[in-house]
Amino acid sequence: MAVIFITGSDTGIGKTNVVGLLARELSELGDTQVIKPVESGVSAGRPADAPQAAGDWATPITLFSFGPAQAPLAAAAQVGKKLSLQNIVKAYQAVSPAEHQIIEGAGGLAVPIDPLGLDWTDFAHAIKPDAVIIVVEDRLGAINQARLSVAYLKRKYNGRMGVWLNMVSRTVSPETAQANRTGIKQSKISLAGESSYQNKKVIFNPEFWS
């Protein structure tokens, strides 16, 4: 079973889009699940992430869902629920296995998911996925975001990891996009892939996936 954990350098940078791209690709190789351990804000009129990413080609699974559009701990507290790393991991481990699991974290990598301050790096350490991919918005500042995120992740997780550049804005110049890729390579960070909302361009880096 291949387990891929998708997290991000921030919220709103296209993690769900990347999860959907991976789900479509992996579904051609076997049974695929899209798992959202924690989600908040669905009641605010936004569609749930797991079904949106899973589409018609993967099985969507949401472990904890809270209505308020807040960070995980705040959203849980507002509806009188308790959230902890232990119960998230326990719920994940109870999911029936599939050939491929793509897990999407909530918000950015360092968002707390436990009252003790534990976050998605601790989740990655606990479940030991085959790879962790950090989605970074492809814009000016992406090199800094990639370096900070990878350095932070390495404090708790020493497995395979890479960055996925996702272009959200049309204002990114070709020069900035190229500089981002050069800077990430010079930082010895693996580029797992890249995508763009506008032209639906998707590139998987074969060196990362081999």
- How confident is the model at residue 58, as a pLDDT? 96
Q: What is the pLDDT of residue 45?
A: 63
Task: Give the C-alpha separation, 126 to 161, whole Å.
Answer: 15
The domain ranges of the chain are: 2-209
Class of residue 128 by CB neighbours under 10 A (exposed 0-12, middle 13-18, buried 19+): exposed
- For residue 170, the model assigns a pLDDT of 72
Q: Do the Cβ atoms of 13 and 141 come closer than 8 Å?
A: no
Q: How many angstroms separate the CA atoms of 108 and 10, rounded?
A: 4
**How confident is the model at residue 171, as a pLDDT?**
77
So what's the architecture of 2-209 in CATH? Answer: 3-Layer(aba) Sandwich (3.40)
Residues identified as active-site: 36
Structural element, H or E, at residue 193: strand 191-196
Residue-level pLDDT, tens digit, the chain, 210 residues = 699 999 999 998 999 999 999 999 999 999 999 999 999 988 656 778 999 999 999 999 999 999 888 999 999 999 999 999 999 999 999 999 999 999 999 999 999 999 999 999 999 999 999 999 999 999 999 999 999 999 999 999 999 999 999 998 777 888 999 999 999 999 999 999 999 866 568 889 998 988
What pTM does this model have?
0.95
Tally of CB atoms within 10 A around 196: 20
Give the burial class of 90: count Cβ atoms within 10 A of its Cβ; 0-12 exposed, 13-18 middle, 19 or more buried: exposed
pLDDT for 196 equals 84
What is the pLDDT, as a whole number, of residue 199?
58
